[in-house]
Every structure is written in C-alpha cells, then in structure tokens.
Amino acid sequence: MKRKDIKQFEYIEDKRLLLHVCCGPCSTTSIKRLIEEGFEITLWFSDDNIYPEKENLLRYENLLIVAKEYNLKTLYKPYNHQAWLDTIKGYESEKEGGKRCDFCFNYNLYTTELKAKELGIPHFATTLTVSRYKNSKSIFSIAASMEGFLEFDFKKRGGYEESIRLSKDLNLYRQHYCGCEFSLAESKAYIKQNNQGKT
C-alpha cells in the first residue's frame, strides 16, 4: 500500500484525537489505522447501551488489553444504562439497524463530542464503523454537525477482517451481539432459529 493511500488527514496539524470505542476487537484495527495516520489517541469507553453491566465491564477489560498493547491512555465513562434507555424510549421494538440504532449512535457520539471538548482534544472518531453490520454513512450523517468529528470508515481496506485476526492474536473476547438487551434478544432468537434440527 502506498503511503499516500494511508494518509487521509495529512492537512491536520493538531493530531490529538479521542476515539470512542465500543469493544476491544473493534478497537484493534481502528487504532492501527489512526497510528498510521499519525494521530495521538486517547481511548474513550462510553457505552451505556451495553447490557448487562457485567458485559459492559467485560468489554472494557478487553479494551484494556488492547490499550496496553499500544500503550494508550483509556478513559471509562461510569455506566448509566437508564440514561440510554430514556434516549431510545419508544423505539425499543425497532429491528437492529433501525431508528433505535440511530438514536444510540447519536447518544454515544454526543457523549464523545462533549468529552473531547472537556479534555481540550480537537478531534474525535468512533470504532463503530469497523463493523460490517453498521452503516457508516448513517453514522457520518448523524455526526455531521458535531464539532471535531472525523469520518473514518474503519471497515474499509479490509478493516473488519483485520480486526478479527488481531483479536485472535491478542486472545480477546468477541461478543455475539451489538450491545443492548434488544440486540441480545434478536441474537438469541436468530441462534435458536438456526440451530433447530441440529444435533
């Protein structure tokens, strides 16, 4: 890969960036890409959507493994699932990828924008775009009016596949659902349906 293909944000002088992280596996390739771009990264685990709390903590613990690997500072937002539930109220029955997810994206991106401003960090991004199950264009549209947001589509350049490989190398826990209780229910229903008749 040519260097000019790697450097997307060469024009930026202040390369400090707050990276919203949803889990350890998604952080791997995202961090690697940002380092290639020359960013000075602070990790921000702000994920009130993740249910139950023990799952939230498990994902955070696995993020710390990645942070240690890259020697990066990690910040943890105290868990407040009720605040997230209040935000998506009325959209609980939406299917995965629907309006509930848009409200969730907005919630996590907004908390990241506020934290970046609090810390005096000029830019922020999110690892959410590394997942092949997330619509990056939708995420970019939601964050378009937020100050300091940089559009990184981390699933490109084989990012999703690389995240799986790096996760295996670091022996990271890889979850089987996005995060909330509604996505967990959908995942369980899907697994049950596809396992019927199997031994």
Task: Encode pLDDT of 66-84 as tens digits.
Answer: 999 999 999 999 999 999 9
> CA gyration radius for the chain?
17
For the chain, which residues make up each domain, given as ranges?
Answer: 15-195
Show the beta-strand stretches assigned E in the chain: 16-20, 40-45, 73-76, 123-126
Tokens standing for residue 115 = 């934290």
More confident site: 198 or 43: 43
Residue 196, pLDDT above cutoff 80: no
Per residue in 28-66, pLDDT tens? 999 999 999 999 999 999 999 999 999 999 999 999 999
The predicted pLDDT at position 3 comes to 39
pLDDT in tens, 79-129: 999 999 999 999 999 999 999 999 999 999 999 999 999 999 999 999 999
User: What are φ and ψ of residue 20, in 5° steps?
Assistant: -70, 125
| Rounded average pLDDT over 179-192 | 87
Does the pLDDT value for residue 8 go beyond 90?
no
Given a contact cutoff of 8 angstroms between Cβ atoms, the answer to whether 72 and 41 are in contact is yes
Per-residue pLDDT at 190: 61
pLDDT digits (tens, 9 = 90+) for 134-183: 999 999 999 999 999 999 999 999 999 999 999 999 999 999 999 999 99
What is the predicted pLDDT for the residue at 188?
86
What is the CATH architecture of 15-195? 3-Layer(aba) Sandwich (3.40)
Sign of CA dihedral 138, 144, 146, 150: positive
